[in-house]
Structures are given as C-alpha cells and as structure tokens.
Structure 1
Amino acid sequence: MNQPVDGGAALVSIQDLRVSYPTRGFRSPPVTVLDGISLDIHAHETVGLVGESGSGKTTLGRALLGLAPVTGGRVLFEGRDISKPSRADRRRRAKDLQVVFQDPYSSLNPAMTIEDILTEPLLANREKGGRDIVRRLLEQVHLPKDAGQRLAREFSGGQRQRIAIARALALDPKLVVCDEPTSALDMSTQARVLALFKEIQESTGVAYLFITHDLAVVRAISHRVAVMLHGKIVELGSAEQVTGDPQHAYTQRLLGAAPIADPAAQRARRIERRRLLTEQEQQREVADVRS
C-alpha cells in the first residue's frame, strides 16, 4: 500500500487541534494532551497513527469521534466542522464515523446474540432489511452463517474482532477509527485480521485511522504514517519512508525497539542504534557549549 487511492479533497481535516483536561488542584493549569495536531485523511486511505502509551493517539481518535473535549483548533468532516458536536450531532454522524476497539469482548454485549448486536445500530438509525444486512456482514468478515444465533463468548478473540468490525461496517461508514484493534491478538490471527481490514477497504472504499504502538502493523496496512510524541506529530510521511528511513530520532528509537527474526540483523541494528544515540548526545553537548 503506497499512495492514497483518492488524492482529492480530504475526507477529514484536523487543523491545529488541541485537547486539554482540567486538573483537580484549584490553581493547577489544565493538562494538555493534544497540542496543535494537524492531519488530513482522504477517502479510501489508511493513516497509521503510532506512538508509545500516553502519546495522545487514542485521545486524537476520541476527539475525531466527538468524545474528547476540543479546546482549540477544529475537525472538519467533508468540509463541515464537527469539533464540538451535540448529542444529536453525534447520532447523525454515527452513520459516517465508526470505531473498532482494542478489546472486542468488552465492547460486545455478552447477553445478546451476534445478530442482535449487528442489528442494534441498524435499528437505532431506522435502517430496513436488518437480517439481510446481518447475513451480508457475516459473509463480509468471513464468519459462518449460523454465527448470528450465537453469543460472543462462543467465539475466539480473532472471531470476536471480526464481529466488532462487522458492527462498525453495518451503517456503511466513510471512516472507521481503529484503536489498537490487533494488539490483543496473536501474530497469526493479527495477520488475518489485517488482511481482512485491507480486503474490506478494497471492496467498500472506507478510510481508516489506524491507531497502534506497533510500526510493523502500520507498515503492513497504512498508506501514510503519523508518529506522535507528547501530544504532537513529530513525523509524517508514506509508510515506506517512515518505517524504512525514519528522519526523527524518536521514530528511529521506535523502529529499533521492534524485534526482528534475524539475530545477526537485530544485533547490528542495536549497535547502530547505540551509535546514533551517542552522536545525538555529542551534538547536544556541542549545542549547549555554544549557547
């Protein structure tokens, strides 16, 4: 996956976005979680959002969905400002914006059959043909036809994530926010779920904001990759460039932290990483002396 399929006007345009949360202390300033984020997502495109825990990745996804308080900047969806939606606005926008969470089991009602789970968003939006749509969704995510009559606990982790993906697709959204959707899966299941995401995008044209801490995952699925650190985007480029020839020191450290199967290559990369860090420390020392 190299370039966005659709290079026209952005489906989503995030402009100088800021999110802050108040603190409990009377005189304590608010905590800034996102600090001036700007990012476009085009139709049919997957933008990978990568960074360590606490970098602000999930908060960005929540702000896009209208679930985090935007304190500055704005989010445009098809040219319309959705930065501070009302509850009614969120309900109307649910048809276009959906989410797949990290833990599929906790996001699926254990007392409901899969058919009921998949029908629920259709009923909420007064869509007709519920059972026919459920059958189509199950087929789309490669689950058996009788899956609709079973409960979530009867499925494996990978199958439950397929159900969560089917629920997100029920209303034919234009963008799906994927919040660490493969991190709880083993490697083989992870590969199958990533292949499913790509297959669905090719057949429907849906766009993804794919949030993860794993550079290998974003390399496999993304057209472009944004790297976040302390609430800011520190590097943005094509998946090949960011994961193959990263320019920012933080991205280089992320790449170096990911293990590879070849012990000799892993050892060589570790030595190179130490050399780069030593050079950067020397450059900082020289800069300090000059200042």
Structure 2
Amino acid sequence: MKDWWRATFPQGRQTVTITDANGHPVKIAYGEKGTGKPLFLVHGVASWSYNWRYLVDTLAQHFRVICFDAKGHGFSEKPLHPETLGHQAVELERIMRRLCDQPAVVVAQSLGALVTLATAQNNPELFSELVVINVPIFLKKLPFWGMQLLADLPLDLVRIADDMRLTKLFAPLMRQIVAVGRREVVSDPAQITAEEVYWITYPYIEFPNALTKTAEDLQHAAREIQFLVKNQPNLIRNVQDKLSAIATPTLILWGAQDQWFPFQDGEKLHAHLPSSKFQLIPNCGHDAAANCPDEIYSAILEFCRTSPPISLGTSKEGV
C-alpha cells in the first residue's frame, strides 16, 4: 500500500530526538501540515498518528497541524529499557517544547487525553486551548479484553513473542482480532475497512518491540486502575485531584455511543473543570476521530473561534 506519511504530510514522516523520562535520547516520528497557530494531535494507547487520518487535512486549512507517534507507538523508537511510570506526560511536554515555541491548541483522544490533562496541570504555559475526547479518567477497568490480556501476560513472555516476530507470522489473525475490536469503538461497523485495519496493525506486525512497549504501558495502566479502585495512591487520582487547577479553556467531547467510557464520565469531568465546555457527539463511538471526524472538526473550530485568549509565558526548561 501507499506510504501513509508521504501521502498525508508535505514532508512525509520526520523525526525529532527528545530525552525520554528515563534520560535516554529517543527518536519521535511526526508529520506536520499547514501554517498558523500550532495544533498538536495526541493519540491514545495501542494507536499512532494514523488515528487522526480524517482530521489532518481539514484542520491544516486553519492551523499548523503537528501529528506525532508517542514513544513506543507507531513509527517512533521503541527502546528496550523498562519504562518509568507516567513517562507519557513527561515526554509529551518535551515533544511540544521541541516542535513549538508558542502556546498550542492540543487535541487529544482516550489515554492521550488523560496524559494531556496531566501535562496541562504541570505545564500550563504550553497550552492555549485544550480539546479532550472520551477521556478514561473515571474508569474502573481496562475497557477491552485484548488490552486486559496483554496486561495480564508476563512481560518476558510478550517480549519473547515479539523477538520471535510472531505478530508477523500470525498477521492475518492479528488483523482479524483488531477488526473485531474495532466494532466496539465505532457506532457503525460498516465503517470498518481492510485498509484501516492494515494500517492500525502495521507497527505491531512490522516493528520489533512494538507489542512489548504497548503491553508494558497497559500493565502500568492496569496497576494504576487497581490502585484507583482500592483508593490507594495512584497517578490517575493525582490528575483527578488537580483538575480544578487547569485554567486552560477546555472542550470536552464525548461520543454518545462510547461503549468503553459512558458519557456521564464526561459530564463529571466537566463539573470538575471550571474552564470547560461539554459537548456530546451523537451517533459516535469511542474512536471519535475516525468515527465522526466532521463533527469533531466543526467543534474544534467553533471552540477555538470563541475561546477567550490567555497570556502565559513560554518556558524552555526541560528541553
């Protein structure tokens, strides 16, 4: 199939090197399109920049769109060293500082939205507006059985399967599992195509250590959820407790047919964010960026048009 990066971005896939949360240099894959105010797109777990395939072109008519793969995902580097708990928020901050020198609009979905809220709490100067979509902030378990399976497997076993390239050997089966899983995140299964399943699974089939890094993140998430349910100290509770401190104008978008996280969670999040607006998207599942991109696009434009400007200094620390 065609090179998705080359077909989507004028300069194709680019890379930028940051220092990760462990102190190691790591290469991050990204693409950008358009001019004007910067707008970052932040994907969720077990995903990559392809998640935003229907929004890059339209948003690039109004913004400098920057779309990147988080470390361990997509085409970004997948280091062998163990990950630090909460590394995603540290690395999002560093990616934003490397690629942008002014406050940006940030649009984030699912786990990417939770990471973005944590980043905004500690680095408000990086954000002008914030759009979060279907945020897993009040969850009680991992939403999909495939995620839970990876979280339960010993990481050494996952690594052996990765080293043996079993995902490539069993690529048809893996694509079938993903196709079944897609039925839970879109409101209309007829939207699921062979091409999108091919690209969603591409990094796991083609790149060593991709499955291991996703499993490691899911295992961290599963433990944090267990601590949350047991009312023990955890990173998710830390984000919950500091929501009221976020002064960045925030739009909360939620798919009315999200089977993973109910829209009542979005209403609850809105109640904890004084500077937020809440909008329910009808006929839309969890993967809203792919399921209802026109509605997401219109909501982003209207929100950015009507949001009051904020004035915050930009720091270069932590680059």
Tell me which interval the TM-score lies in, with the shorter structure as reference length.
Answer: under 0.3
More strand by share: 1
Could you say which structure has the larger radius of gyration?
1
Name the structure, 1 or 2, with higher relative contact order (CA <8 Å, separation 6+): 1
TM-score, normalization by structure 2:
0.25
TM-score, normalization by structure 1:
0.27
